[in-house]
Structure 1
Amino acid sequence: MASFVDRVVLHASGGNGGNGCASIRREKFKPLAGPDGGNGGSGGSVILRVDGQVTTLLDFHHLPHRHASSGTQGAGDHREGHNGEDLVLAVPDGTVVKDPEGNIIADLVGLGAEYVVAEGGHGGLGNAALASKRRKAPGFALLGEPGFEADIVLELKTIADVALVGYPSAGKSSLIAAISAARPKIADYPFTTLVPNLGVVQAGGSRYTVADVPGLIAGASEGKGLGLEFLRHIERCAVLVHVIDCATLEPGRDPLSDLEIIEAELAAYAPDLNFNSDGLRIPLTERPRLIVLNKIDVPEARELAELVRPDLEARGVKVFEVSAASHEGLKKLTYELAEYVERARKFAPKPGAARTIIRPKAVDDAGFTVQRKESGGVPFYEIRGTKPERWVRQTDFSIDEAVGYLADRLGTLGVERELFKAGAVAGDEVRIGPEHNSVIFDWEPTLITGAELLGGPRGTDARISESLRPTREEKRRDYTVRMDAKAEARAELWTEREAGVWIDPEVDSK
């Protein structure tokens, strides 16, 4: 069973927003007292946060799917839904966040560093929030927005000052156990170390950390042995220490050839040095390094170390003869490493104070794009933008009034104007949203004059629209008009009768 995991794929999804409520307040003698539907609660977000008590990504290896809680639905009497709680995931210091293509999104260094992986969806507005002078009693509410989903890759890059590299069984684990309180697994066979080990070294007034990674062999860059999988843990190290086994019995091996092979494998490693928050963009082969000739407690190893030391020093590198078993030469080595570390810390770029950068959008930036595309030889117009896509997700298309409200919002945003500029005509296919999940409809431009203006404004409800009673003055005026019309009709009849146009038998017989 794995106890150390330094690379996982995390499937995170934010919580869904709660739906808004469409409700009408009812009072005595006033059954339709106005809208009182509350807004839905927003969904929680999935957040990564650096925690000093976490040293591995093992939890995400066992539970790779994480989902934040959703918001609840609004209710009548202006009661808003509860917001979903954020899901905070603890990660080790030095975790790098990448997308599935390998592009770096965030580098989490320092306790408390955070990154929002998947944001929660916005809650839908209730009909009380949608009411306006033109739309006094909306009969609909907005739906909650689904939470965002993201698939990311988490890689752990151990933060240490010194890195121990070398062949398997060179004595790296024994060395880190001798100079620190770390207790890694030690055995007399190759590849004993399967996971990186960290140790803290105190040398006088200096305190630094040392990392021990699994051993390298020739061809590691091609996948032999454990490959270069664990070299990500030394990318942030300021000093490299080559630990060379002077007591090996393998044929064809000697300190000089071992050093050249390890240097070649380090040169073949291409880390993500273009995105290091600590400013270490120097290739591994160009960083300060020391050479440690280990196991000099063995007589033959001591003789070999004395023999090859001049050749190694001729390369401009300091050489130390030590024994992890007898602790010979370790004190001098730890103090020398402390000087290297202090020098690296002195010249390391200091992190600047965090500044809030405000980038206002251009005045003519509508916040969306309209592009003409083709699918199977059939042209269509694709609309992409944060606002249009969110509005579409929050619209209940089973309610005509809600669809009309969406059309009003899109028209106010300028979508129809941009469609005209792109060459769209009535009947063209329009898609709002990404290709795999878009809303498709045939575009019918909104007319600015015509018979539709004779009806009420879009979004009104004739069932609960306010009816205006005639005033007393209007009644008096209407009565006067009717009386005048009757008088004129009687006068016209008498005029026609006197002219002989028609005869009233009862009157004429008298």
Structure 2
Amino acid sequence: MTSFVDRVNLQVVAGKGGNGCVSVHREKFKPLGGPDGGNGGHGGDVVLYIDPGVHTLLDFHFQRILQAGSGKHGKGSNRDGAAGESLRVAVPNGTVVYGADGEQIGDLTGAGTELTLAHGGRGGRGNAALVSSKRRVPGFAELGEPGDELEITLELKSVADVGLVGFPSAGKSSLIASVSKARPKIADYPFTTLTPNLGVVSAGETTYTIADVPGLIPGAAKGKGLGLEFLRHIERCAVLAHVIDCASLETDRDPASDIDALEYELREYGGLADKPRIIVLNKIDIPDGRELAEYVKPDLEKYGWPIYQASAVSREGLRELTFALAEAVERFRAEQPPLEAARVVIRPEAVDDSGFEVRELTPAYEGDVEFVVSGRKPERWVRQTNFENEEAVGYLADRLANLGIEERLAKLGAVPGSVVRIGDHEFEWEPTDPSVVATVGPRGTDARMNRDDRKGADERLAERKARRAELLERVAKEQEARGKSRKG
């Protein structure tokens, strides 16, 4: 069985952000020293990068889930959680990434190219980072956000300058072995080659790569044979070379019909019509092969493509062929536009962009949900909220009100008790006047750290101490009186 894998489906999961910590600094004589909960660490990313030493997607055939490390939770004493470890995955040169919908996400070519597939979730802030002038000791912290999750397809398209196409046993692998240092498997039976072979050829000052397409037969573009699996490996080629077996023993085939049949498959596959062609009449070291090559050469001139005779065994005609391919490759390279340095494009948000959208839904289609709020900020805030903490829920309500969401809901006709969905959570709307929120202060203020309340606590403690001293003095007087009565 072949170990070549050039298409895999994967699940990508970035790391989850760590939760923030709720903590209050305490010492022996300072029980309420202020909040000191640390932030959670960010989750790790999943990154693909080109590694010249990797030539197949075989590793992904056994590992279908790519998962980065999650961030650690924050701790007390202002200790932030460690960030999750990013997962860097090596892929072959020429790897194309598609999303679950079939849309291309990235095309990785060239050593050093990287693509961040999934971003890790942000770590939640601890209560020390949530302190404000009106919320001096928050009794809650933010939850870490989940990382990105997506399903992708990796598809390998060999980066070769010259693609050899031809029927099985036409001698494509032998040609690659003769003009390069590649050593593909060669035998005298069809479908010997089960994986694309890639070789490097030097012709004068030009160096280029050459690859073949195994198992290309009529019907390949529709799944017959092996051609459909490997036709993608010639999409990037600068020139295609038709390798014709001039020593074939099959009497129902001839060079012209072979070319017509393969050209039909290339057209059916699509995207290869504008690539230049070269015809290679192979196996002229065999007398019958040389005779057939000379006989059919005038008939093949109708295609208007250069025609070369060659032999992988005797190496006859290989020098002329390699230089002709080099010239075609150089011509293709010269026609390519120069590479431009990557530019950073800054697209600032519109001044009147509120950052959210509120839509009224038809209950018949959305169940009990009447309104949906979408937007980067509100959805992130909801993910960060611990709904088991009443103070955290109040903090979320204040943020949504200050952003203007409640005002927008009221304008759309929402009433108390209307079901509102933000992200994955549904709520019964309890309106809050934004002006009241701004003047009264945030919900969840800790009265223990309020200056007036603290003053009252000190006065009550002084009163308790005075009463205790008075009680001790009374007990001492009573004991003294009993002692005198015994003496008398």
TM (norm. structure 1) is 0.86
Tell me the distance in 2 between the aligned counterparts of 1:72 and 1:84. Answer: 7
Identity %: 61
Who is 2:405 aligned against? Answer: 415
Who is 2:100 aligned against? Answer: 100
State yes or no: 1:440 paired with 2:426: yes
8 Å CA contact retained: 2:2, 2:194: no
Tell me the distance in 2 between the aligned counterparts of 1:105 and 1:248. Answer: 44
Unmatched segments (≥5 aa) in structure 1: 271-282, 472-510
Question: Which structure would you say has the larger Rg?
Answer: 1
Who is 1:504 aligned against? Answer: none
Where does 1:186-201 land on structure 2 (aligned, <5 Å)? 186-201=186-201
Deviations 1:110-157 (A, max 9, x none): 111111111111111000000000100001111111122111000111
TM (norm. structure 2) is 0.89
8 Å CA contact retained: 1:165, 1:215: no
SS of corresponding position for 2:266: helix
Bigger shift: residues 66-75 or 127-136: 66-75
8 Å CA contact retained: 1:169, 1:215: no
Tell me the distance in 1 between the aligned counterparts of 2:289 and 2:103. Answer: 46
State the AA in 2 paired with 1:442. Answer: E
Bigger shift: residues 86-95 or 377-386: 377-386
Aligned with 1:338 (options 319, 322, 326):
326
Aligned with 1:405 (options 395, 399, 409):
395
8 Å CA contact retained: 2:401, 2:433: no
Where does 1:88-487 land on structure 2 (aligned, <5 Å)? 88-270=88-270, 283-376=271-364, 378=367, 380-433=370-423, 438-447=424-433, 457-467=442-452
Residues 1:15 and 1:316: Cα distance change in structure 2 (over 3 Å):
same
State the AA in 2 paired with 1:67. Answer: Q
Tell me the distance in 2 between the aligned counterparts of 1:387 and 1:17. Answer: 17
Tell me the distance in 1 between the aligned counterparts of 2:16 and 2:222. Answer: 45
Cα deviation, residue 470, structure 1: 7.8
Tell me the distance in 1 between the aligned counterparts of 2:418 and 2:227. Answer: 56
Residues 1:83 and 1:290: Cα distance change in structure 2 (over 3 Å):
same
Tell me the distance in 2 between the aligned counterparts of 1:36 and 1:426. Answer: 37
SS of corresponding position for 1:467: helix
Residues 1:137 and 1:291: Cα distance change in structure 2 (over 3 Å):
same
Tell me the distance in 2 between the aligned counterparts of 1:117 and 1:458. Answer: 39
Deviations 1:166-201 (A, max 9, x none): 111111001111110011111111111111110000
Unmatched segments (≥5 aa) in structure 2: 457-488
Tell me the distance in 2 between the aligned counterparts of 1:423 and 1:293. Answer: 79
Bigger shift: residues 128-137 or 100-109: 100-109
SS of corresponding position for 2:325: helix
Deviations 1:211-241 (A, max 9, x none): 1111311111222111422111111101100
Who is 1:501 aligned against? Answer: none
Who is 1:498 aligned against? Answer: none
State the AA in 2 paired with 1:285. Answer: A
State the AA in 2 paired with 1:62. Answer: F
SS of corresponding position for 2:329: helix
Cα deviation, residue 453, structure 1: 10
Structure 1 segments of 4+ aligned residues over 6 angstroms from their partners? 452-456
Residues 1:88 and 1:207: Cα distance change in structure 2 (over 3 Å):
same
Tell me the distance in 2 between the aligned counterparts of 1:406 and 1:369. Answer: 17
SS of corresponding position for 1:169: coil
State the AA in 1 paired with 2:408. Answer: E
Bigger shift: residues 330-339 or 226-235: 226-235
**Count of paired positions:** 454
Residues 1:328 and 1:457: Cα distance change in structure 2 (over 3 Å):
closer
Tell me the distance in 2 between the aligned counterparts of 1:147 and 1:187. Answer: 51
Bigger shift: residues 287-296 or 25-34: 25-34
Who is 1:487 aligned against? Answer: none
Who is 2:34 aligned against? Answer: 34
Residues 1:91 and 1:456: Cα distance change in structure 2 (over 3 Å):
closer
Who is 2:84 aligned against? Answer: 84
Tell me the distance in 1 between the aligned counterparts of 2:192 and 2:403. Answer: 64
Tell me the distance in 2 between the aligned counterparts of 1:470 and 1:159. Answer: 77
Residues 1:59 and 1:397: Cα distance change in structure 2 (over 3 Å):
same
Tell me the distance in 2 between the aligned counterparts of 1:251 and 1:419. Answer: 80
8 Å CA contact retained: 2:134, 2:441: no
Cα deviation, residue 29, structure 1: 2.6
